[in-house]
Amino acid sequence: MSMWFQLAAAVVGVWLMASPSVLGFDDPARTSVLIAGPLAVSAAVVSAWEIGRGLRWINVLVGVWLLVSPLLLGFVMNAAINSSIAGSLLIALSLLGRHISGRYGGGWRSLWSWRRRAASPLHGRLNLSPVQLPARAARPAASADTARFEAWR
């Protein structure tokens, strides 16, 4: 279900990119939404799938910027309303996503875990491989074709 929330956030990002032309407002509001729009679309599309789910928090930051930028940059009224509504929608749609249900690839921790294992006094005495394969000599040759293949290899 969370994928639909992220795809709706992508539609909000597309609207942000089109809104300066549709509503007819200029700088600084134009520059702000033309930067926030592609960021929102990218983060929403990547976070629509489970493996990139954590990137939905980028849209929360983009939404906060869209809420604060009219006050900081002095937008005209229609640009301020547009930015505030889009920012609120981005925050709400990003917070509606579900949590990550699994871990994929191990992240940065997996890059450094080999050092901890190598520094361990039990390293070398423990079998750390998840699968034990039988020795090559223990496998019987099933046929003459298999024997020829083994000799060729």
Radius of gyration of the chain (CA): 27
146 falls within a domain: no
Tell me the per-residue pLDDT of 110-150, one tens digit each, with 9 for 90 and over: 555 555 555 555 555 555 555 555 555 555 545 666 666 66
Range of the domain at 32: 2-95
Q: Rounded to the nearest 5 degrees, what angle is found at the Cα of 96, between the Cα atoms of 95 and 98? A: 100
The answer on pLDDT for 106 being more than 90 is no
In a domain, 139, yes or no: no
pLDDT of 19 strictly over 90 = yes
Considering the entire predicted model, what is its pTM? 0.62
Please report whether residue 122 resides in a domain: no
Q: Is residue 101 part of a domain?
A: no
Q: At what angle do helices 2-23 and 77-95 cross, to 10 degrees?
A: 170
Condensed to tens digits (0 to 9), the pLDDT of residues 84-103 reads: 999 999 999 888 866 656 55
Cα angle at 56 between 55 and 58, to 5 degrees?
75
Task: Answer yes or no: is 124 within a domain.
Answer: no
User: What is the pLDDT, as a whole number, of residue 139?
Assistant: 54
In a domain? residue 136: no
Domain tally, the chain: 1
pLDDT at 48: 81
User: How far out from the chain centre does Cα 59 lie?
Assistant: 11
Is residue 113 domain-resident? no
Q: What is the pLDDT of residue 102?
A: 59
Mean of the pLDDT values across residues 21-37? 90
pLDDT at 9 over 60: yes
What one-character DSSP code corresponds to residue 123? B
> Who wins on pLDDT, 144 or 80?
80
